[in-house]
């Protein structure tokens, strides 16, 4: 390979950024609950997965904050843990959910919060 091509290859490698990864700090369940405005125990009704995104329809079984009992909530997440997603297909029929309000009866969740609430 000529010196010119080696230079081009090195320049191209310089354009590649670091890989995105989701790193979670371990915290207590109580601390995880205090860090988000919406927390509830929900029963999974339906999971709709498209590519790396997921919308899980849940019924609130036990409201903790930010929702009412019996309410239907759409929970939005990514499915891949590297993008800080939480895949509800791996959860049980009921799960403790904590996240940010995403408007119109929807909640957006991230893997770190979900991990700390459910482990």
In-domain check, residue 78? yes
* Residue range 34-68, pLDDT digits in tens: 999 999 999 999 999 999 999 999 999 999 999 99
In-domain check, residue 8? no
Question: What average pLDDT does the segment 87-99 reach?
Answer: 93
In-domain check, residue 54? yes
In-domain check, residue 12? no
Overall domain count for the chain: 1
**pTM, full prediction:** 0.79
Residue 59 tokens read as 């019924």
Residues 44/91, Cβ–Cβ less than 8 Å: yes
Q: Which of 90, 86, 88 is nearest to 113 (CA)?
A: 86
In-domain check, residue 1? no
| DSSP summary character for residue 115 | H
The domain that holds 30 is classified in CATH as: 2.40.50.120
Query: Residue 9 pLDDT > 80, yes or no?
Result: no
The residue range of the domain holding 41 is: 20-118
Q: Which residue, chain included where needed, has tokens 């371990």?
A: 26
Residues 9/64, Cβ–Cβ less than 8 Å: no
Compute CA distances 94 → 6, 14, 20, 82, 87, whole Å: 55, 46, 30, 24, 13
Q: Please tell me which residue, 92 or 20, carries the higher pLDDT value.
A: 92
């Amino acid at each position: 390979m000529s010196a010119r091509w080696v230079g081009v290859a090195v320049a191209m490698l310089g354009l590649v950024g670091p890989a995105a990864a989701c790193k979670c700090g371990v915290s207590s369940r109580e601390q995880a609950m205090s860090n988000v405005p919406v927390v509830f125990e929900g029963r999974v009704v339906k999971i709709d997965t498209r590519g790396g995104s997921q919308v899980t329809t849940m019924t609130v079984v036990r409201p903790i904050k930010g929702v009412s009992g019996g309410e239907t909530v759409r929970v939005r997440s990514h499915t891949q843990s590297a993008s800080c997603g939480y895949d509800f297909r791996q959860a049980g029929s009921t799960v403790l959910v904590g996240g940010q309000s995403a408007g119109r009866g929807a909640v957006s969740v991230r893997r770190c919060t979900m991990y700390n609430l459910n482990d």
